[in-house]
Amino acid sequence: MSAIEGLLAALPADRVVTDPDVMDQYRHDRALTATAGKPLAVVRAQCVDDVVATLELATATNTPVVTRGAGTGLAGGANAIDGCIVLSTAAMNRILSIDVGQRTATVEPGVLNGDLATAVAERGLWYAPDPSSRAICSIGGNVATNAGGACCVKYGVTGDHVLALKAVLANGTVINTGSSVRKNVAGLDLTKILIGSEGTLAVVVEVTVRLRPAPRPPSTLVAIFPSCEAAGAAVIAIDAVAEFSLVEVMDRTTINAVEDHLTMGLDRSAGALLVVQSDSACAYDDVVAADEVCVALGASYTAATADVTEGAAILHARHSAIPALERSGATLLDDVGVPKPRLAELIAGVEAIATARNLTIATFGHAGDGNLHPTIVYDPADPIAFETAKTAFGEILDVALALGGTITGEHGVGQIKRAWLPSQVGETERALMDGIRRVFDPSGILNPGKAT
Ligand SMILES: Cc1cc2nc3c(=O)[nH]c(=O)nc-3n(C[C@H](O)[C@H](O)[C@H](O)COP(=O)(O)OP(=O)(O)OC[C@H]3O[C@@H](n4cnc5c(N)ncnc54)[C@H](O)[C@@H]3O)c2cc1C
């Protein structure tokens, strides 16, 4: 029996797609530079049994399986491989329970991050991990990439909020990891092993997350610096005055793009702009203290506010970075991290690449975590420009590695960063990763060629 015949026999007919036009929508994520193969079939799973049947069949026929959430990934992790089954968990999108007493929620993997956040907010609770894509990305994808966001500087990434998982192994066996108990140290932490595994170890079919009480309204500081060095020094120095809930940076290229887009009166000659928020019980005192630090370190302009609407307007500038850049061309978003004292060197290294390659590269991101998104703008109609952009993308990874950093702070390795992994992770450590993959997936059918 062929894999397709097997799928059609094992699953209700509406779950299996073989129409090439429909399958085309399941071939790519949002990574522009990643290649995508042609799948044999797409399975739109609606329940755990669908996932089990698909994986049993895939194992029996030795067919590769690419699991797909909402397809918003930026590393090619969900891109199809020739002859694979794309296993979509998007339709498994029920919020199964919200336990206000325990402050936990259990959801299917296709639930969108933003939908979970809204549902728990209605119960006075907060799901903290806040990727900018939260309105369009799924919790299963967030778990598989260990997604981050702006609030991670204080509250941590997705993995810090996952208590338990239900997942299906390549051979169709259902496993349960972790516990909905808020403290649990029994045995090896299989939950943590699955988090960030980018669809290579198992298919996540249920996620129990930790919730928090609703956050207090934040106070906000904006500080403008003549140079990235001064802004970088401020990012370190403000750590000594409070624990901030958001510390974001924009470089000069980003500031100018945003000013072109929004006309907010931003100083086009500035070297860098910081947005800092605190949501502590003394939030305004915190940002005033940060303000003093920024002024002492040479900020040319600062403004602190406890007004939430004003704060949101300031943050809007940072959130507008990508739409502002997209007005000038296609964008290739990188995702690198460095130790915080080296932030200014990272930005300088990116500027040097932009100059050498005659490219626009705007750098912005989560300064408080040392995680930045240098974003290359290029003409999508010009194949040479695209090749140059790809080269610059790789050179940015090299700069981050040379600074003792990482090739990815939150988007994952996927397909597009795999070639750089050996430069970051030692041989023995990679062998351990390969060994773990073999234990979970002995025949190597889960997302081959991705992640490790
Ligand atoms: C505009 C924009 C802004 C973004 N901002 C951020 C940001 O701030 N922070 C951030 O971290 N990311 C960001 N991203 C990237 C992306 O949204 C995240 O990586 C997200 O976690 C991917 O979720 P998804 O549901 O789209 O997963 P997909 O893209 O479908 O898949 C991503 C990976 O997860 C695996 N996977 C998906 N579902 C499952 C499952 N059920 N079981 C096992 N493996 C699975 C896939 O195989 C793949 O390897 C952004 C993307 C866009 C387009």
The answer on 203 and 141 residing in a single domain is yes
Decide which of 213, 242, 267 is a domain's last residue: 213
The reported pLDDT for the residue numbered 213 is 97
- pTM, rounded to two decimals: 0.96
Low-confidence stretches of the chain (pLDDT < 70) are none
pLDDT of residue 183: 87
Please give the number of the atom of ligand 1 that sits closest to the Cα of 197.
44
Please choose from 43, 48, 72 the residue to mutate so as to test ligand 1's pocket, defined by most ligand atoms within 8 A of CB. Answer: 72
Taking every pair of C-alpha atoms in the chain, what is the biggest distance, in angstroms? 73
**Assigned domain for 241 exists:** yes
CATH number of 23's domain: 3.30.43.10
Cα separations in angstroms, 63 against 67, 198, 368, 437? 13, 18, 43, 16
Residues 316 and 386 in one domain: no
Total count of domains within the chain: 4
**Ligand 1 atom 8: residue of nearest CA:** 131
Domain boundary among 88, 109, 131: 88
Ligand 1 mutation target, pool 67, 157, 322, 332, most atoms within 8 A of CB: 67
**198 and 104 assigned to the same domain:** yes
Sign of CA dihedral 100, 104, 107, 111: positive
* Residues in Cβ contact with 298 at an 8 Å cutoff, skipping those fewer than 6 apart: 225, 226, 227, 230
Sign of CA dihedral 134, 138, 139, 140: negative
Q: Which domain holds residue 228?
A: 216-326
Tell me whether residue 448 is in a domain. Answer: no
Is ligand 1 within 6 A of the CB of residue 178? no
Q: Examine the domain organization and report whether 224 and 293 are in the same domain.
A: yes
Q: Which atom of ligand 1 is nearest to the CA of 130?
A: 8
189/224 same-domain check:
no
Q: Are residues 231 and 206 in the same domain?
A: no
Question: What is the per-residue pLDDT for 431?
Answer: 97
In SS3 terms, the chain reads as CCHHHHHHHHCCHHHEECCHHHHHCCCCCCCCCCCCCCCCEEEECCCHHHHHHHHHHHHHHCCCEEEECCCCCCCCCCCCCCCCEEEECCCCCCEEEEECCCCEEEECCCCEHHHHHHHHHCCCEECCCCCCCCCCCEHHHHHHHCCCCCCHHHHCCHHHHEEEEEEECCCCCEEEEECCCCCCCCCCCHHHHHCCCCCCCCEEEEEEEECEECCCCCEEEEEEECCHHHHHHHHHHHHHCCCCCEEEEEEHHHHHHHHHHHCCCCCCCCCEEEEEEECCCCHHHHHHHHHHHHHHCCCCEEEEECCHHHHHHHHHHHHCHHHHHHCCCEEEECCEECCHHHHHHHHHHHHHHHHHHCCEEECEEEHHHCEECCEEEECCCCHHHHHHHHHHHHHHHHHHHHCCCECCCCCCCCCCCHHHHHHHCCHHHHHHHHHHHHHHCCCCCECCCCCC
Residue 450 domain-assigned? no
Two structure tokens written together for 78? 């969900």
Paired residues of 378 in beta bridges:
330
Residue 165 lies in a domain: yes
What atom of ligand 1 comes closest to residue 89's alpha carbon?
41
208 in the same domain as 165: yes
- Give the pLDDT confidence score for residue 366 in this predicted structure: 98
Last residue of a domain, one of 303, 326, 349: 326
Closest residue by CA, ligand 1 atom 15? 73
Q: Is the distance from the beta carbon of residue 409 to the nearest atom of ligand 1 less than 6 Å? A: no
Q: Are residues 102 and 207 in the same domain?
A: yes
CATH of the domain at 205: 3.30.465.10
Residue nearest to atom 23 of ligand 1 (CA): 141
CA of 57 to the centre of ligand 1 (A): 26
Task: Determine the pLDDT at residue 182.
Answer: 77
At position 213, the amino acid (one-letter code) is: P
* 32 domain residue, yes or no: yes
Going from the Cα of 139 to the center of ligand 1, the distance in angstroms, rounded, reads 8
pLDDT at 32: 85
**Any domain includes 243:** yes
Q: Read off the tokens for 34.
A: 């990643």
